[in-house]
Structure 1
Amino acid sequence: MPAKISQRDFAQLLDGPAVDREIDRLTRKRGGWLDVAQILSRRINGTVDWERLGPAGSRYSVIGSRGEAVLFDDRMDESRIIKLRGREENGYGTAGFGCILVRNERGMIEYGPGSMEQALERERLSWQVLGFGCELEAIIGDHAGMLLAQRFIAGRAPTEREIRSWMTERGWEPLQMRRDVSVTLRDHAWQRDGIGAFDANETNFIRSEADGELYPIDLIVWPMPQ
């Protein structure tokens, strides 16, 4: 069974001053970064129900917030990255606990918000078909959020050409010409044996310094909608 942690206890594991500094940094950039700062605040504070965050030096130090998650360093285990995912209303919007593939009202394949259970199934599929993914670390409160742990890979972003070669060598077929896939998703969408692997771009892969291999660190892996 996965570990469960209360919202208050999770809040105390967060380095509050580091969160404040990151929000201040984003706010000072102004423009669209103000929205990013507000989303980061909602994602953290909404998940812990506005409990007081921990002191400087606490276990989890915020790295940043990207599409589906808030990322943290784990000061007790530097070999991994921690991802916080949560409810739509807590700043996660159309991602939910992690995007899945759905058909919209026009019959086009696009992203839809996934439940916690679907997000965990997505990680299982990622391990199964890509050989890499996240593991469930803990569930926060009454499904207020969840923590996923992923091995930290030091390296560089690969090129689009390297990604295409990696996917093709493993039997994945590109969906660039698939007319029922949303136009904005086609260039980085693949399928194999009825499973889709979307968002396969240079920000979601890393080439390891240690072994030279490519690792898919944040693809959206889900059965192709019928």
Structure 2
Amino acid sequence: MLTQREFARLVDGPALDREIDRLTKKGGGWLQAAQILSRRVNGTLDWEVLGPAGARYQVVGSRGEAVLFWDDHLKNRIMKLRGREENGYGTAGFGCILVRNERGMIDYGPGTIEQALERERLSWEHLGFGCVFEDVIGDVEGLLLAQAFISGSAPTEHEIHAWMTQHGWESLAEARDVAVTLRQHAWRRGRVGAFDANETNFIKSDADGLLYPIDLIVWTMPE
């Protein structure tokens, strides 16, 4: 386990400040993105002093479920910081899972830290790629995951559809019991669902031309 202070010293504070300033200067809805990024890092770390310029973890960005850092020591992996809902992670929690909403439709729900780790296990088992556990921060304030860095570009929707089909997945685009906003990028294979399969969550490798699923929501389909 890393204490909040220990992890804070590993984060490049000036780089984080620059990213927050960059988002803030864009104005509009980016102001909220800047506030969320700050809350996700500083709230999780209880406002401990961050590390100096050149510290190991340099912020890359903040996505739906995580803050992404580049590991500038190993230079071959992306780190994903997930955390509590109240620290800026909203309805994702430690990572979305599949649930039935109040209308009985399959939707996203916030996952616990245990469920986040199970989701990564399922991703490796059913997609052949995912994150590995790195550490827990504080009194389960944050979860740090590591994922191999792949140099590449975003594939097309057609390439993703072909990849999923070739690997035995069935599209849920017409599934009436899946929330409408999720259907287009939702797939099923047996009892397991793979959701959010869009261009931002796959990468086409420059090295081998293959597609790698880097951030799909893989979970057992709710009853």
Tell me if both proteins adopt one fold, taking TM over 0.5 as the criterion.
yes
Task: Give percent identity, aligned residues only.
Answer: 74
Whole-Å separation in 1 of the counterparts to 2:37 and 2:23: 10
Q: How does 1:54-73 map to 2 (within 5 A)?
A: 54-73=51-70
Match of 1:155 in 2: 152
Q: Which runs of 5+ in 2 are unaligned?
A: none
TM-score computed with the length of structure 2 as normaliser: 0.99
1:34 is aligned to 2:31: yes
Whole-Å separation in 1 of the counterparts to 2:90 and 2:155: 29
C-alpha distance after superposition, 1:149-195 (max 9, x if no partner): 00000011100000000000111000011001000000000000110
Give the CA deviation at 1:146. 1.0
Q: How does 1:159-198 map to 2 (within 5 A)?
A: 159-198=156-195
1:210 is aligned to 2:220: no
Match of 2:86 in 1: 89
Among 127, 149, 162, the alignment partner of 2:124 is: 127
Give the CA deviation at 1:118. 0.2
Aligned length: 223
Match of 1:144 in 2: 141
Match of 1:43 in 2: 40
Whole-Å separation in 1 of the counterparts to 2:97 and 2:29: 26
Matched residue type, 2:30: W
Match of 1:75 in 2: 72
Whole-Å separation in 2 of the counterparts to 1:41 and 1:79: 25
TM-score computed with the length of structure 1 as normaliser: 0.98
1:21 is aligned to 2:30: no
C-alpha distance after superposition, 1:129-159 (max 9, x if no partner): 0000000111001100011000000011100
Structure 1 runs (4+) greater than 3 angstroms displaced? none
1:224 is aligned to 2:221: yes
Q: Which runs of 5+ in 1 are unaligned?
A: none
Whole-Å separation in 1 of the counterparts to 2:69 and 2:104: 37
Whole-Å separation in 1 of the counterparts to 2:206 and 2:88: 34
Matched residue type, 2:187: W
Secondary structure in 2 matching 1:207: strand
Q: Note the aligned Cα RMSD (angstroms).
A: 0.5
Secondary structure in 2 matching 1:52: coil
